[in-house]
Structures are given as structure tokens and as C-alpha cells.
Chains A and B, each alone.
Chain A
Amino acid sequence: MQYLMKYLTSAPIMATLALVILSIVMIELNHVFPGLQYGTYFHRAL
């Protein structure tokens, strides 16, 4: 268990995990606030 935890906290694994979490956050943000991705979310409709 101790060795498994040490392996899981190694930098490449943590970096991959961080990337996956960030991707999920970005996808969900775009889902909740449509238009954020296209740079139009903060615009008033013309």
C-alpha cells in the first residue's frame, strides 16, 4: 500500500491526473456557460 501510494504520487502520474481534471473542468465550464469557448459569452447580443 505504501509503495502504491508512492507510485501514485510520482510526478508523471500526478501531472496526468492534473491534466485530466483540468480537461474535465474546461469541458464542464463550456457546458455550463455556453459561448465561453467562442469568446462570445461576455458579449451583449447585437
Chain B
Amino acid sequence: MRKLFAILLMGLLWFTLAPADAAAAGAPDTHLVPCQASEAFQERMQNAPESYYFDQPYQAYESNLLCGADGLPHLQLRFDRAIDVVIPFAIFFYFAGFVGWSGRAYLIGSKRASKPEETEIFIDLPLAIRAFSQGLLWPLLAIKELTAGELTVQKNELSVSPR
């Protein structure tokens, strides 16, 4: 019931607070301007040291991003620019999952070895390569294990402290 209430509240807040009409009309945000039109940004760009580490990023910001009054690039949370947030998040999420799943697969595999502790100090390369290749498919494997009940331990296997 509490979960249902939380979901309802989330939906309500989303639809009341999100400026849906602005996204539909493609109207630009009121206070963000393209960085090339922002005086504060131009000032920052001119004051930046001339080097590879400043020139290229500033040029990229100038032609691609929107700047606020502080002269720094900001992302807009709008549905028509959702890709700005979704793609970087998806890459991060997949990579984090890949690292976690590979490690988990390696540890599960190493338990079957004759000396499980040793495989943590001296890496078993064939097993590690198998674990990495499993990690690439982690979203599919996670769904498969979740539906088969292998992802988590059974309730009766959980240790419970005495009460």
C-alpha cells in the first residue's frame, strides 16, 4: 500500500510540476541561452588559458550547449532533450553492471576451483575471460536469473539475528 502511494505521489508530482507544454512547443528555457550568446561564457572563454585542455572543450560548449547566467553550461531537463541525460546514464549503468556482473561471475566460478582463495590472488585467466564475456550480457542474464530465482538466496537461507 505504501509503495502504491509512493508511485501515485510520484506520478502526480511529475505531471503537475513538469512543464509539459514547454516541451511540446519546443520553447527554449526562459533563463538558459546558447553559450555563444552568453556574455559571461564568452568572458570565461577569453580568460581561460590557451591549451588543448581548454580550447576544445570551450569550443564544444560554445556550439552545442546552453549556458546560464553564471556563464557555465547547464543541461535542461526536458523531454525533447532527454537524450542528453538518458544516453550518458545508460552508458554508466551498463558499464557499472558489467563490472559488477563480471566480478560476481568470477567469484561464483572461483568457488568451484580446487583452491578458491588462490584464484583471488592469482587470477585464473580462462575463468576471468569467461566472466568478462558473461558480464557483457549482464542485463539479459540478470533478468534470466531473477525470473529463475537464482539472483537472490532463498528466504530460509538468510541468517536472522536472535530476537
Interface residues of A (CB under 8 A from B): 6, 9-11, 14, 34-35, 37-40, 42-46
Contacts and interface: CB of A to CB of B under 8 A. Distances in A.
Given A9-B125, A46-B34, A46-B66, A38 B120 contact: no
28 contacts: A9-B123, A9-B124, A9-B125, A10-B121, A10-B122, A10-B123, A11-B121, A11-B122, A11-B123, A14-B128, A34-B56, A35-B60, A35-B64, A37-B57, A38-B57, A40-B64, A40-B65, A42-B83, A42-B84, A42-B88, A43-B64, A43-B84, A45-B63, A45-B64, A46-B34, A46-B35, A46-B36, A46-B65
B134 to A, nearest CB: 17
Contacts of A39: 88
Contact of A42 (B56, B66, B87): B87
Given A10-B123, A11-B122, 17 more contacts: A9-B122, A9-B124, A10-B121, A11-B123, A14-B123, A37-B57, A39-B88, A40-B60, A40-B61, A40-B63, A40-B64, A40-B65, A44-B64, A45-B63, A46-B36, A46-B64, A46-B66
Dominant secondary structure of chain B at its interface with chain A: helix
A44 B83 CA distance: 10
Interface string B75-119: 000000001100110000000000000000000000000000000
A39 B74 CA distance: 11
Nearest to B36: A46
Contacts of A6: 122
Contacts of A9: 122-125
A26 to B, nearest CB: 11
A11 B88 contact: no
Contacts of B65: 40, 43, 46
B87 A38 contact: no
